[in-house]
């Protein structure tokens, strides 16, 4: 269980501090998918990066992020490196340049296996093939370099990488942006299937409410750094409190109406 | 626009001023020996006596000075004395606080050439010493007033005498292996560096500009030929070619300029080509072509002005390279020995004894001069580059 | 991939061809009698006639060139005007010195420059970064020979730690160990001077590239993976900038080889560069041509090696043409 309570994050800028997250509290349980929905700039990605303690140096963070009874914000770097990826893994934005361009996909997965699990040589290669298969890629992709892969393939490679250490939680930061609609659907269904099969927990950060409602158990809506709505998917769809959520849902209904015609 | 406040512009202006005014300030020919070879600068080694030069010019018959009595290393007296008639009795006298020493008997000569040296045995014997004594001990024994004068029964028509009391220190920057004034040589060196640096880069940029425009605009075969030659020229060590050409074609300043520019246009050509390529397909050029504008017209009226600011920055940034190349060739001794340049000064210091005499002060002025001039042009280039592309401002991070 | 090798090797041959043509024209197409520039005017008529035959001066220009190219490729450079000895004999004893000088200077400045550049990129705004920025400025604006002359004056004359000139002591020391130590002693100052001149530019490039790459998404990802910083810096960041670093090395290579002439002159080393200078000043054209050819060959070969290394470190080589080279 990851429990975020009263989290404040502010970035230092030349003129004044900019508060990106204000008093956010959020819980992600194992075996569930929580979605964090908001427009760009609403602070949702900042919140996600705070969980891995990966905010740029100089950022001010207040509050608590309790994982396994410990506050992630207080854990020293060396111990953090054991929580990162082994317990909590990250699936980056599809648009991000998140694979090292000069290393093959296989090299990058094996590096993780070797450092975190001590698996090397042939077993590592077998495990790599297995991971790629799980995320829907042929094992030949292991020998490929990032520039040889399509956007969807890169994202699947990122998923394979995230699964390398069988983490307890997956943090997915807009995993489908910059992908075409069909690939988006495939990636999301692969992800939710993996989460349901393995019983891990996932935090899905997205600006896409329909996507969130289709997979998530709980939804949190953020706007301008504030959490404006929180609840189970059904609750939110049926009885939204905040104006912003209502607008989002109204837009969703229009779209669905359009689709049914 | 605060461009004029930038230090490099002020420094360049002052340097050009010095280069122009230099020869007038010193008066004489820089090749003239001014003081003994390898004299130290006056600010160095303060215990050593200064090199003192006494000159008797038109009409003067006496020269007096005060000394602390630290004997210089050598004494030399050279010149010519003419009388208005033939004197029955005439003498050239050196008066010390202790005695009067007869340096030369001038009697019965109406016109006499003087050439005395403290190390000469005859001179020592003449002033009453043995061949093994040090003449300086007798000539400058103690603190007090000294004078050099001519006594005769006939008026002196003209006396041009130079007495050199060599102490090992002379001038602001000392003297070189031929006794020339290093400060003067340094000032003269500015010209060569500026002329060669700027004109070689200008010519090279013109070549580079035409090559780049041609390559970028024409494309196809022309482009690949030009770009391949650029690649090849950039992967050959150029200095040996420059050396060979300088050795064969003669060593004049303008030959050097030509040689340098022939082998340094490649970078400009590349930059101009890539800019031309991006501009060639820009909308306004397409429109011009649709309006029926010919290639020469587009090149001259639109592409050229667009590339010009970049070219200007390129020229400024290219000057240090040309200055360094010229200095390098001169340092290797492949420049005209009659032309004073900073590279030549270092060459002479290296080959003619600066290292056996430890005359390190001969190295600093030309070397620092080159470096300073290069830094000035780098700064101007950076400034121009920032004007072309304001994103470059504020650090070189990205 | 195969295409890449073929292209690189072909371009090496192209450069070699251009060098041969340049060399041929440079020393043969001079003003005045072409014969006098190739054959020492002081030789007897019979000797001249014989040399004419060797150089094929009575043949057509294209035939002459083919003959010349053959001689160059097989290292038959002819007789030196100055020493009257075979040029190859003169050169062969000098090649190891030049290679040792440039090789060790390059390796040392690459290592020091890379380490400092990375350190500077990781510690922005510290003293190390300032040193790197200034070191870079110095190496771009100070004439190499000036820095070397100052070093020589300081450590050869004022504080005589190193010898003033030469490659070995005269008389040479006896014993293999002593000879090696003597050689290293003589080569130290030249190598140190080249490293001092070289590391700044190197460090500056590495720093700029590192600063850029450290801001990339995949570095943040590597941190998210919990990898130790050593892996991130070397395995991801430095590994990514390795191709451009090699490209910069390639661009600097001709200048480095040119530097041999100046360094060997300042320190009076027994090398190819100083031989070139002596030949040029002594109007010994065949010898100068041979020395230039050897220096160019050295450049071409190092270039080819670096090209091959580039092919190994940059996976994109298989598909794309290299950007700006």
**Chain C CA closest to residue A167:** C225
pLDDT tens digits for C49-65? 776 676 666 677 788 88
Q: Is A107 within 8 Å of chain C by CB?
A: no
Instruction: Please report all neighbours of C, defined by 3+ CB atom pairs within 8 A.
Output: A, B
Chain C contacts in chain B segment 369-398 (CB below 8 A): 370-371, 374-375, 378, 396-398
Tokens coding A64:
């608590």
Phi and psi angles of residue A204, each rounded to the nearest 5 degrees, phi first: -105, 115
Q: A: neighbours with 3+ CB pairs under 8 Å? A: C
Probe site for chain A from C218, C226, C317 (most A CB atoms < 10 A): C226
Return the pLDDT at B111. Answer: 84
Which residues in chain B come in under a pLDDT of 50?
Answer: 1, 394-398
- CA nearest B192: which of B355, B366, B67? B366
The residue to which tokens 């050509």 are assigned:
B269
C218-260 pLDDT, tens digit per residue, is: 999 999 998 998 999 999 999 999 998 988 888 888 888 988 9
What string of DSSP letters covers B156-219?
Answer: EEEEEEEEEEE-SB-TTT-B-TT--BHHHHHHHHHHHHHHHHHHHHHHHHHHHHHHHHHHHHH-
Q: Give B33's DSSP letter.
A: -
Smallest CA–CA distance from C311 into chain A, residue: A102
pLDDT in tens, B139-198: 777 778 888 888 888 888 777 777 777 777 777 788 888 888 888 899 999 998 999 999
- Contact flag C292-B333 (C-beta cutoff 8 Å): no
Query: How confident is the model over A80-92, as pLDDT tens digits?
Result: 888 899 999 999 8
Interface test with C, best of A45, A102, A103 (most C CBs within 10 A): A102
Q: Is C248 on the interface with B (CB under 8 A)?
A: no
User: Coil, strand or helix: which one is C44?
Assistant: coil
Nearest by CB to B235, which of C137, C281, C299?
A: C299
3-class SS at A222? strand
Mean pLDDT (chain B, rounded): 82
| Residue among C221, C230, C246 with most chain A CBs within 10 A, to mutate | C221
Cβ <8 Å between B355 and C164: yes
The average pLDDT across C257-267 equals 92
Which residue of C lies nearest to A51 if distances are taken between CA atoms?
A: C224
Q: Are C257 and B237 in contact (CB < 8 Å)?
A: yes
Q: Tell me, yes or no, if C268 comes closer than 8 A to chain B by beta carbon.
A: no
Please, do chains A and B touch (3+ CB pairs < 8 Å)? no
What residue of C is the nearest CA neighbor of A50?
A: C224
- If contacts are CB pairs under 8 Å, which of residues 285-314 in chain C contact chain B? 288, 291-292, 295-296, 299-300, 303
Alpha carbon of C177: minimum distance to chain B alpha carbons (Å): 30
Q: Which residues of C touch A104 (CB under 8 A)?
A: 315
Residue range A122-131, pLDDT digits in tens: 999 999 999 9
| Closest chain B C-alpha to C315 CA, distance in angstroms | 23
Residue among B247, B346, B397 whose CB faces C145 most closely: B346
Chain C residues bordering chain A (beta-carbon distance below 8 Å): 216-218, 220-228, 231, 235-236, 239-240, 242-243, 313-316, 319
First to last CA, chain B: 25
Are C262 and B360 in contact (CB < 8 Å)? Answer: no
For domain C1-325, is the CATH number 1.10.3720.10?
Answer: yes
CB pairs under 8 A between A and C: 73
Chain C CB contacts of B243 below 8 Å = 261, 276-277, 280
Least confident piece of the model among A107-111, A226-230, B194-198? A226-230
pLDDT tens for A172-216 read 988 887 778 888 888 888 888 888 888 899 999 988 888 888 889
Contact A98 C221 (CB under 8 A): yes
Over residues A31-45, the mean pLDDT reads: 87
DSSP at A87: T
CB pair distance less than 8 Å for C143 and B247: no
H or E stretch covering B331: helix B304-331
DSSP state of C58: T
- Walk across the sheet containing A169-173 and list its strands: A88-91, A169-173, A201-206, A33-38, A218-223, A226-232
Contact C223 A103 (CB under 8 A): no
For the cut 60, the answer to whether the pLDDT of residue C318 exceeds it is no
Neighbours of chain B (3+ CB pairs under 8 A): C
B240: chain C residues, CB-CB within 8 Å: 258, 261, 276, 291-292, 295-296
Task: State pLDDT tens for residues C87-146.
Answer: 898 899 999 999 999 999 999 999 999 999 999 999 888 888 888 888 887 777 788 899
Q: Which uninterrupted H or E stretch holds A40?
A: none
ipTM value greater than 0.90: no
Q: Is B113 exposed, middle or buried (0-12, 13-18, 19+ CB in 10 A)?
A: exposed
A260, pLDDT greater than 60: no
Residue where the block lists tokens 């060396």: A78
**Which pLDDT does position C322 carry in this prediction?**
39
Q: Do B397 and C22 touch (CB under 8 A)?
A: no
Q: Between chains, do A145 and C316 touch, taking CB under 8 Å as contact?
A: yes
- SS3 at position B114: strand
C319 band by pLDDT with thresholds 50, 70 and 90: very low
Which chain C residue's Cα is nearest to A55? Answer: C220
Whether A66 contacts A5, CB under 8 Å: yes
Q: pLDDT digits over C148-201, tens only?
A: 999 999 998 888 888 888 888 878 788 888 888 899 999 999 999 999 888 888
Residue B11 sits at the chain C interface (C-beta within 8 Å): no
**B219 CB within 8 Å of a chain C CB:** no
Given the DSSP bridges, would you call strands A169-173 and A88-91 parallel, antiparallel or unpaired? parallel
Distances (CA, A) of C124 to B59, C18, C116, C163, C219: 71, 45, 12, 40, 17
Q: For residue A39, what is the enclosing H or E element?
A: none
The Cα–Cα gap between C50 and B388 comes to: 62
Q: In b/e form, how buried is each residue of A19-56, taking b as 16+ CB within 10 angstroms?
A: bbbbebebbbeeebbbbbbbeeebbbbbbbbbbbbbbe
**Helix, strand, coil percentages, rounded to 5, for chain C:** 75, 0, 25
Instruction: Judge: C295–B396 Cβ closer than 8 Å, yes or no.
Output: no
Query: For chain B, how many helices (H) and strands (E)?
Result: 14, 8
How far apart are the CA of B129 and the nearest CA of chain C, in angstroms? 38
- The domains found in chain B, sorted by start residue, are 52-166 (2.60.120), 182-393 (1.10.3720.10)
Residues in chain B: 398
Is the pLDDT assigned to residue C39 strictly greater than 80? no
Joined tokens for residue C87: 């040029």
Q: Which of residues 136-175 of B touch C (CB under 8 A)?
A: none
Chains C vs A: touching, with 3+ CB pairs under 8 Å?
yes
Residues 138-197 of C with CB under 8 A from B: 138, 140-147, 149-150, 152-153, 156-158, 164
**Shortest CA distance to A175 belongs to which of A164, A163, A187, A166?**
A187
**Min Cα separation A170/chain C (Å):** 12
- Which residue pairs, CB below 8 angstroms and at least 24 apart, start in B337-344? B337/B251, B339/B192, B339/B253, B340/B30, B340/B185, B340/B188, B340/B189, B340/B192, B341/B189, B341/B192, B341/B193, B341/B196, B342/B186, B342/B189, B342/B192, B342/B193, B342/B366, B342/B367, B342/B369, B342/B370, B343/B370, B343/C143, B344/B189
Who has greater pLDDT, C292 or B247?
C292
Q: What are the φ and ψ backbone dihedral angles of A100, each rounded to 5 degrees?
A: -65, 120
| pLDDT higher than 50, residue C71 | yes
Res B393: pLDDT: 59
**Mean pLDDT, all residues of chain A:** 86
Cα distance between residue A105 and residue A124, in whole Å:
13
Per-residue confidence (pLDDT) for residue B396, from 0 to 100: 42
Residue A189 pLDDT: 87
Question: CB neighbours of A79 closer than 8 A, spacing ≥ 6?
Answer: none
Going by the DSSP 8-state scheme, the letter that residue A180 receives in this structure is -
Q: Does B331 touch chain C (CB under 8 A)?
A: yes
């Amino acid at each position: 269980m990851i429990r975020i309570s009263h989290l404040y994050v502010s970035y230092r800028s030349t003129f004044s501090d900019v508060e990106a997250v204000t008093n956010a509290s959020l819980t992600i349980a194992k075996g569930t998918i929580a979605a964090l929905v908001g427009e760009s700039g609403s602070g949702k990605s900042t919140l996600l990066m705070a969980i891995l303690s990966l905010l740029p140096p100089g950022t001010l963070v207040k509050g608590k992020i309790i994982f396994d009874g410990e506050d992630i914000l207080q854990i020293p770097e060396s111990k953090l490196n054991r929580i990162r990826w082994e317990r909590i893994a990250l699936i980056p934005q599809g648009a991000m340049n998140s694979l090292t361009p000069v290393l093959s996909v296989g090299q990058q997965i094996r590096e993780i296996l070797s450092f975190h699990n001590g698996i090397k040589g042939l077993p590592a290669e077998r495990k790599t093939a297995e991971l790629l298969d799980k995320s829907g890629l042929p094992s030949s992709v292991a020998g490929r370099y990032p520039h040889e892969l399509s956007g969807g393939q890169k994202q699947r490679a990122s998923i394979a990488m995230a699964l390398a250490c069988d983490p307890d939680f997956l943090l997915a930061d807009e995993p489908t942006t910059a992908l075409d609609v069909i690939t988006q659907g495939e990636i999301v269904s692969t992800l939710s299937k993996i989460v349901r099969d393995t019983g891990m927990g996932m935090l899905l950060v997205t600006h896409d409410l329909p996507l969130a409602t289709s997979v998530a158990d709980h939804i949190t809506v953020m706007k301008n750094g504030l959490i404006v709505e929180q609840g189970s998917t059904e609750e939110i769809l049926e009885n939204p409190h905040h104006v912003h959520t209502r607008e989002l849902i109204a837009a969703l209904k229009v779209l669905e109406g359009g689709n049914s015609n | 626009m605060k461009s004029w406040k930038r230090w490099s512009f002020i420094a360049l202006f002052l340097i050009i001023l010095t280069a122009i005014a230099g020869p007038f300030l010193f008066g004489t020919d820089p090749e003239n020996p001014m003081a003994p070879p390898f004299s130290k600068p006056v600010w160095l080694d303060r215990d050593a006596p200064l090199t003192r030069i006494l000159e008797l010019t038109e009409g003067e018959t006496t020269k007096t000075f005060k000394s602390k009595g630290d004997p210089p290393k050598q004494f030399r007296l050279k010149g010519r004395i003419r009388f208005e008639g033939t004197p029955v009795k005439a003498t050239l006298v050196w008066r010390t606080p202790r005695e009067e020493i007869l340096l030369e008997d001038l009697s019965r000569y109406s016109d006499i050439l003087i050439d005395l040296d403290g190390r000469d045995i005859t001179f020592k014997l003449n002033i009453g010493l043995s061949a093994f004594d040090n003449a300086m001990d007798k000539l400058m024994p103690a603190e007090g007033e000294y004078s050099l004068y001519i006594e005769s029964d006939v008026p002196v028509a003209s006396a041009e005498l130079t007495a050199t009391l060599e102490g090992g220190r002379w001038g602001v920057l000392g003297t070189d292996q031929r006794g020339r004034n290093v400060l003067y040589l340094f000032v003269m060196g500015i010209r060569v560096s500026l002329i060669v640096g700027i004109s070689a880069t200008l010519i090279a940029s013109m070549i580079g500009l035409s090559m780049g425009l041609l390559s970028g605009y024409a494309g196809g075969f022309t482009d690949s030929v030009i770009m391949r030659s650029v690649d090849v020229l950039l992967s050959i060590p150029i200095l040996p070619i420059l050396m060979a050409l300088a050795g064969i074609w003669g060593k004049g300043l303008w030959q050097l300029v030509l040689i340098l520019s022939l082998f340094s246009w490649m970078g400009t050509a590349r930059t101009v080509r890539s800019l031309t390529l991006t501009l060639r397909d820009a909308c306004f050029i397409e429109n011009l072509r649709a309006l029926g504008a010919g290639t020469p017209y587009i090149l001259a009226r639109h592409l050229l002005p667009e590339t010009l600011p970049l070219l200007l920055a390129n020229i400024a940034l290219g000057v240090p390279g040309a200055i360094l190349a010229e200095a390098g060739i001169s340092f290797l001794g492949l420049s005209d020995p009659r032309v004073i340049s900073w590279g030549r000064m270092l060459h002479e210091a290296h080959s003619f004894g600066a290292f056996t005499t430890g005359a390190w002060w001969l190295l600093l002025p030309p070397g620092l001069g080159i470096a300073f001039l290069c830094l000035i042009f780098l700064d101007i280039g950076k400034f121009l580059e920032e004007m072309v592309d304001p994103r470059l401002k504020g650090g070189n991070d990205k | 991939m195969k295409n890449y090798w073929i292209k690189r090797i072909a371009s090496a041959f192209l450069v070699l061809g251009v060098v041969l043509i340049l060399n041929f024209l440079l020393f043969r197409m001079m003003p005045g009698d072409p014969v006098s520039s190739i054959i020492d005017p002081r030789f007897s008529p019979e000797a001249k006639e014989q040399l004419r035959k060797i150089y094929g001066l009575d043949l057509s220009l294209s035939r002459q060139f083919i003959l010349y190219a053959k001689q160059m490729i097989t290292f038959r450079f002819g007789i030196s005007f100055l020493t009257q000895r075979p040029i190859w004999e003169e050169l062969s004893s000098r090649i190891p010195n030049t290679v040792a000088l440039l090789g060790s200077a390059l390796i040392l400045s690459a290592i020091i420059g890379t380490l400092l550049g990375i350190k500077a990129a990781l510690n922005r705004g510290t003293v190390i970064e300032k040193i790197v920025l200034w070191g870079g400025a110095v190496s771009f604006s100070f004439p190499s020979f000036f820095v070397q002359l100052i070093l020589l004056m300081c450590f050869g004359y004022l504080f005589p730690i190193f010898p003033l000139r030469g490659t070995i002591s005269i008389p040479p020391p006896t014993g293999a160990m002593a000879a090696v130590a003597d050689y290293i002693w003589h080569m130290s100052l030249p190598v140190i001077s080249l490293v001092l001149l070289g590391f700044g530019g190197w460090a500056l490039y590495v720093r700029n590239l590192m600063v850029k790459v450290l801001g990339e998404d995949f570095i943040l990802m590597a941190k998210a993976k919990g990898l130790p910083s050593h892996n991130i810096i070397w395995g991801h960041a430095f590994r990514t900038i390795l191709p451009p670093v090699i490209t910069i090395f390639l661009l600097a290579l001709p200048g480095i080889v040119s530097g041999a002439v100046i360094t060997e002159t300042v320190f009076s080393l027994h090398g190819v560069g100083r031989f070139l200078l002596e030949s040029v000043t002594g109007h010994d054209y065949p010898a100068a041509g041979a020395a230039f050819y050897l220096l160019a060959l050295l450049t071409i070969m190092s270039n080819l090696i670096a090209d091959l290394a580039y092919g190994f470190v940059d996976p994109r080589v298989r598909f794309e043409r290299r950007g700006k080279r």
